[in-house]
Amino acid sequence: DAPALDIDPFAPDFFEDPAPHHAALRDAGPAVRLTRYDVWGVARYEHVRAMLFDWQTFSSAAGVGLQDFRRETPWRLPSLVLETDPPLHDRTRKVLGRVLSAGALKALRATFEREADALVDALIERGSFDAIPDLAEAYPLKVFPDAIGMPAENRRYLLPYGNMVFNSFGPRNEYFEDAVRDAAPVLAWVQAQSQRDALDDHGFGAQIHAAVDTGELTADEAPIVVRSLLTAGVDTTVSGLGAAIYCLARFPDQYARLRADPSLSKAAFEEAVRYETPVQTFFRTTTRATDIGGVAVGEGEKVLMFLGAANRDPRRWERPDDYDITRPSAGHVGYGFGIHLCVGMALARLEGECVLASLARRVASIEITGPTTRRYNNTLRGLRSLPVTIRAA
């Protein structure tokens, strides 16, 4: 019968070095029974990509975490975008897609570039710092809440809230319990911050609430759609930027190529998203009995997609374990695919491009000058600390 493995994808051994586990999962078969959680795991690029496009068979409406919303009370009110299927998803996604479109973001480019230059100049003055809190976290925490239209105070709750939600997609293990320990003030803040009167008149938040005036959203739905941005808009880009800086610091020959041609900053960020895959895993739930590459899967089964394994699959990528900024990385599954393809992708890419271009123009070298420590989270892959020393160009 079906191949089975008892690995634990939500444990330090896996978080510290996923590569051997990813290889075992890919090689065990198209779909593998994860006996520890009694769910399926899919790690090959071909099948992960096919699942992401087949929303009818692989539904998001029962949640994209281990929890099955049809059997258990969701930890938080389900997202009206992430945790819905069509037709509801079509309506809410349309609003977010317009607010976050590449066209809408053109107006932000000058600001995002200026903020990146200012932050990099300040860090050059310091010389040595921790690239995670001082750069990977500092930059999104400045530009994104500004773009949403949030007041300056209380932005510190954004990372704790993201940490709770991303841990909530996994099992109720110690990472989840630690994250939700003092959740009450954070949850109250998120609820308050999503209201129309808490947001300025021209940011993403106001634009979402304006969809109530046009009848595209109800007054009850709008705060939940704003909550989607508060949830997914920061912790993801923090992990993405951290991944890119970590790659460029580890592979100086790639940094030298970027220095020689700063217009490669977009490609360098994209290849880091493929190489590190900040969002490592999430689930779908089958709506009918089906098969994945010939392995029979029943109706109502949770299937865990290993995006990080798919992005390193030798069946799809040449030299998958090389960080190569000139590689055509298009087609990686780091932002998902299909109807739930990351709606913030253009924004994430803009942030990544601006920060890496600023570094490429102003910083001659990035050296890791201390021990790195990894962050343990049930969904996000990223460092907790990355001590570096940079030299001005």
Ligand X SMILES: CC(C)Cc1ccc(C(=O)O)cc1
Site residues for ligand HEM per CB under 6 A:
60, 64, 81-82, 93, 96, 100, 228-229, 232-233, 236-237, 240, 273, 278-279, 282, 334-336, 340, 342-344, 347-348
Minimum CB separation of residue 304 from ligand HEM in Å reads: 12
Tell me the closest approach of the beta carbon of residue 360 to ligand X, in angstroms: 28
Alpha helices in the chain (DSSP H): 12-16, 19-28, 45-53, 88-99, 102-126, 131, 138-148, 158-168, 174-180, 184-193, 204-213, 221-232, 235-250, 252-260, 265-276, 307-310, 345-362
Interface with ligand X includes 194 (CB under 6 A)? no
Residue span 158-187 as binding mask against ligand X, x where in contact by CB under 6 A, dash where not: -------x----------------------
Window 257 to 286, contacts with ligand X (CB under 6 A): 279, 282
Query: What sign does the CA torsion over 186, 192, 196, 201 have?
Result: negative
Q: What single DSSP character describes residue 132?
A: I
The number of helices, as runs of H, and strands, as runs of E, in the chain is: 17, 13
Does 160 sit behind a cis peptide bond, omega within 30 degrees of 0 on the bond before it? no
Among 232, 272, 333, 359, binds ligand X (CB under 6 A): 232
Q: Which of 57, 60, 67, 79 binds ligand X (CB under 6 A)?
A: 79
Question: With respect to ligand X, which residue has the nearer C-beta, 282 or 376?
Answer: 282
Among 34, 50, 51, 82, interactor with ligand X by CB under 6 A: 82
Using CA atoms, how far apart are residues 308 and 306, in angstroms rounded to an integer?
5
> Which of ligand HEM, ligand X, none does residue 60 bind to, with CB < 5 to 8 Å depending on kind?
ligand HEM
Q: Whole-angstrom Cα distance, residue 366 to residue 343? A: 31
Angstrom distance (rounded) from CA 166 to CA 143? 21
CB-based closest residue to ligand HEM: 344
Interaction site with ligand X (CB under 6 A): 64, 79, 81-82, 165, 228, 231-232, 279, 282
